[in-house]
Amino acid sequence: MAAAILAVGRPGALTSQTLQRFEGVEPHMGTLVRITVYTAGPAEARTAFRAAFDRIGDLDRILSDYEPDSELNAITRTAAGRPVRVSDDLFAVLQASQDLAAATGGAFDITQGPVVRLWREARRTGRRPDAAALAGAQRLTGFRKLHLDADERTVTLDLAGMALDVGAIGKGYAASAALAVLDGLGIRSALVAVSGDLAFSEAPPGARGWRIRLHEGEQGLETLPQVIELTRAAVSTSGPSEQYVEIDGRRYSHVIDPASATGLVDDLTVTVVAPHGLAADGLDTAISVLGVEKGLALLESRPDAAALIVQRTDGRATFTMSAGFRTLLARTQ
Ligand code: AMP
Ligand code: MG
């Protein structure tokens, strides 16, 4: 995507000549996962990669909506009308999703599965989903039809045929979960990138932080720094530039506005910085649906999160940032 985030650690310098940089790449969650670690040698790096990639593989088997036997898809078959107990990981993702759904009046909504599937088909065929099919799918959606019981750790769905899709929040959760595994192995400086969802720990040796690229010097973004330097955070980006369908000259994003059951047409790319990927990934999608004004208002209740919103109209970009993002940028300069 145009505002792809690249994470670039600077080469090791004076202080930590004993640490070397290693990078591993594996396909997981329908994308490539890249992990960078600073370790004493290749053996430590190999052990770290295996443990972190395995954690992401496990989460993929829990959270995937493509894989019929994932735990997520299993509950859509079994939890209609009766509570089903789920894993801690799945419960954490569902709980955060429902909290965000409530905070956004349903703009963020993981029960959009049936609608998301119709728009995915539209991306393949290039044709707008059939109106009757969309209306039918919409009847199976709504975050209030999904019930969680934190004490019992159970999930109940109101209707058979509902489908959950945690594609808007699962990759960020996985990035932070893999980073926690690396932390547990005593690795101080690491970065996990599940596509556009990043989680990273302390700065690479000799650097002030992980350098995150915000954009590629587009017209209209000249006054926005290209890079932000951060430590111990998660950064997620949501935008239509990679996944959209063009119908009759209009671009529809893979992110759905639940109010209209339609792919978003405003070209917004939202980058969120938060302490954990669960928050960053959820918020990037939520703000995309809410738009600039309501998106920034949502952040007022999340003082530990910050957002940059880039809007493209007729080939020209404009940007808006939250007060928190401005503070982070000022620290980089
Ligand atoms: P992201 O790239 O993080 O914005 O996530 C996009 C994905 O979230 C889509 O591909 C869908 O699987 C899912 N999704 C689409 N619309 C919504 C929505 N309104 N709320 C929650 N998830 C959504
Ligand atoms: Mg997201």
pTM for the full predicted model = 0.94
Give the list of residues 6+ apart from residue 283 with CB closer than 8 angstroms, or none.
Answer: 100, 236, 270, 272, 274, 298, 299, 302, 305, 307
Whether the per-residue pLDDT at 16 is higher than 80: the answer is no
Calculate Rg over the CA atoms of the chain. 20
pLDDT digits (tens, 9 = 90+) for 106-140: 999 999 999 999 999 998 998 999 999 999 999 99
Nearest CA to ligand 1 atom 12: 167
Tell me the ligand closest to 97's alpha carbon. Answer: 1
Q: Please give the pLDDT value at position 242.
A: 66
Tell me the pLDDT band of 10, cut-offs 50, 70 and 90.
very low
Pocket, ligand 1, Cβ cutoff 6 A:
108-110, 112, 116, 165, 167-168, 238, 254-256, 258, 281, 284-285, 288-289
The pLDDT score that the predictor gives to residue 17 is: 57
pLDDT in tens, 203-229: 999 999 999 999 988 899 999 999 999
φ, ψ for residue 15, nearest 5 deg: -75, -35
Q: What is the pLDDT of residue 77?
A: 94
> What's the average model confidence in pLDDT over 51-72?
97
Distance (angstroms) between ligand 1 centre and the Cα of 168 equals 4
* Mean pLDDT along residues 42-61: 98
Over the stretch 259-285, which tens digit does the pLDDT of each residue have? 999 999 999 999 999 999 999 999 999
pLDDT digits (tens, 9 = 90+) for 291-333: 999 999 999 999 999 999 999 998 899 999 999 999 999 998 7
Report pLDDT for 255: 94
- 226-244 residue pLDDT tens: 999 999 999 999 987 667 7
User: With 50 as the cut, is the pLDDT of residue 178 above it?
Assistant: yes
d(CA 296, CA 250): 26
Q: How far, in Å, CA of 323 to CA of 300, rounded?
A: 9
Q: What is the pLDDT of residue 315?
A: 83
Residue 5 has pLDDT above 60, yes or no: no
- Which one of 171, 285, 287 would you pick to mutate in the ligand 1 pocket, going by the greatest count of ligand atoms within 8 A of its CB? 285
Closest Cα to residue 268, out of 246, 245, 281, 251? 251
* Alpha carbons 205 and 164: distance in angstroms, whole number: 41
